[in-house]
Amino acid sequence: MAKSIFREYDIRGIFQKELSEDTVKKIGYFFSKEVLSKFPEAKYISLGYDGRTHSPILKEWMTSGIKKTGLKVLDMGLVATPVNYFSNYIDNDGKKVDASIMITGSHNPAEYNGFKITIDKGPFFGEDIYALGDKVLVSNLKIEDNIETIKINTKEEYINYMIREFSHLKLENKSFVFDCGNGAAGTVLRDILEGLNINSHIMYEKPDGTFPNHHPDPSEIETLEDIKEELSTGIYDLGFAYDGDADRIAVLSPKYNFKGDVLALFFSRFIDNPTVIGEVKCSQIMYDTINTYGKAIMYKTGHSNLKVKIKETNASFAAEVSGHIFFNDKYFGYDDAVYSTLRALELVHNNFNYDKEYEKLPQLFSTDEININTTEEKKFKIIDDLKVTLSNSPKEFPVIKDIITVDGVRVVFENGWGLVRASNTTPKLVTRFEADTENNALYYQKKLLELLN
């Protein structure tokens, strides 16, 4: 087992190679011990899994580890990650959830899987995950099979909640297309849309962990080709696409792909005096515009980081460029692509025109996210070395106005900015550049990548 599977905000690795039976059982056991140390009266951990072919196997291994401690497992079956989170906020037939574990590889390739963990409605991440990894690595504990669970129907409660909360939507003259990408969104989407009488065409609805139609990552341009083709017919007003576990969304019109920071701008206009948290990849337009009528806060990338910051600031919501959106004004402060879909449709209900409002925004040029392959061992060291180099940059380097180090390095230049940060989920460096012109953005990209090399 590689220690690198224990990441900043979740646990993720390749099935069998890194997520073996022994490892997964121990993760379940030592996490459950942590729950009991904080809540001695705890009884239940809720467990859900995505549509990957090995997720049901991981569920059995995880269950055995949990039950070794005496805790019981509430089994919701194949669900989207937000449904798993939802179990922390409902009654579950009188069974209070003390922690939850979602088995999912999210947007990673089919051979990956992992665990997104919640304890007492908050993320289990950072130093807690690293400490858990240390215990797993040194343990010689043998855990027998014990896969008996208590079935719960969280999915039905979630569907009914969404229909109830958005029953006011009137969209009879509109039509929309949805690409589930053979991920977990397909387990709830149709029932919700039909319950709200929304005209819809759902693509790749059936969960299939081999992802036969395209990779389950809507932030990658090539995965959106099919839904763009549907939108080009002129039949649909908007399109929505999801990642493998439905905590991330892409929203498209026939003309544009609205990234998470643009959506944050749109949503913020319908909230009085909003406080919005963005990550370091978000456009400066988002921060500057929201600050004219509310408050925008720049913070670290990562779903766990943003959930903690939401609680700390009581923000209205948070957003990542990649499509994680965490509503806290009328929801529970976690990332839910299905709920975000309904909030996006609510704007249409309110006669909001996505294309026209997008075209009114100041025009800056942003590069797509550019990933640079490295190793788990090197990626953070490279960022530290880059900070040192920037403190004494070469004479021919563009003038630096500010260096923001909340997450990686965001270098603010005279006419734009460039970002280099280490991915917390893959052995890569993530870069993005934005400027007043395409030439300036590409110039900043060239100079910063030269320095990085």
Residue spans of beta strands (DSSP E) within 89-232: 97-103, 112-119, 122-123, 150-151, 176-179, 200-203
Domain boundary among 87, 118, 153: 153
Same domain for 254 and 234: yes
Domain boundary among 359, 382, 415: 359
Residue 222 lies in a domain: yes
Residue 308 lies in a domain: yes
Per-residue pLDDT of the chain (453 residues; tens, 9 = 90+): 678 899 888 999 999 999 999 999 999 999 999 999 999 999 999 999 999 999 999 999 999 999 999 999 999 999 999 999 999 999 998 999 999 999 999 988 999 999 999 999 999 999 999 999 999 999 999 999 999 999 999 999 999 999 999 999 999 999 999 999 999 999 999 999 999 999 999 999 999 999 999 999 998 899 999 999 999 999 999 999 999 999 999 999 999 999 999 999 999 999 999 999 999 999 999 999 999 999 999 999 988 999 999 999 999 999 999 999 999 999 999 999 999 999 999 999 999 999 999 999 998 998 888 899 999 889 999 999 999 999 998 889 999 999 999 999 999 999 999 999 998 777 899 999 999 999 999 999 999 999 988
**What does each C-alpha distance from 131 to 2, 34, 126, 138, 364 come to in angstroms?**
14, 10, 9, 11, 43
Domain, as residue range, for 134: 3-153
Residue 442 lies in a domain: yes
Residue 55 confidence (pLDDT): 97
Q: Which residue is catalytic, options 46, 55, 100, 106?
A: 106
Rounded-to-integer distance, Cα 75 and Cα 152, Å: 6
Same domain for 331 and 203: yes
Same domain for 437 and 379: yes
Q: Is the CB of residue 184 less than 8 Å from the CB of residue 246?
A: yes
Same domain for 354 and 370: no
Which CATH number covers residue 287? 3.40.120.10
Same domain for 197 and 147: no
Same domain for 51 and 178: no
Q: Is the CB of residue 402 less than 8 Å from the CB of residue 280?
A: no
CB atoms within 10 A of CB 110: 18
Same domain for 183 and 81: no
Q: Does 391 qualify as catalytic in the annotation?
A: no
Q: Which residues pair with 409 in a beta bridge?
A: 420
Same domain for 256 and 172: yes
Which CATH number covers residue 399? 3.30.310.50
Same domain for 343 and 255: yes
Residue 306 lies in a domain: yes
Look at the chain and report how many structural domains it folds into. 3
State which amino acid sits at residue 286: M
Residue 158 lies in a domain: no
Same domain for 421 and 303: no
Same domain for 88 and 181: no
Q: Which residues have a Cβ under 8 Å from the Cβ of 131 and sit 6 or more positions away?
A: none
Same domain for 352 and 370: no
Residue 160 lies in a domain: no
**What does each C-alpha distance from 368 to 241, 243, 256, 288, 427 come to in angstroms?**
18, 18, 14, 21, 19
Domain boundary among 123, 153, 183: 153
Residue 55, CB-side half-sphere exposure with 13 Å CA sphere: 33
Residue 161 lies in a domain: no
Rounded-to-integer distance, Cα 306 and Cα 84, Å: 18
Residue 293 lies in a domain: yes
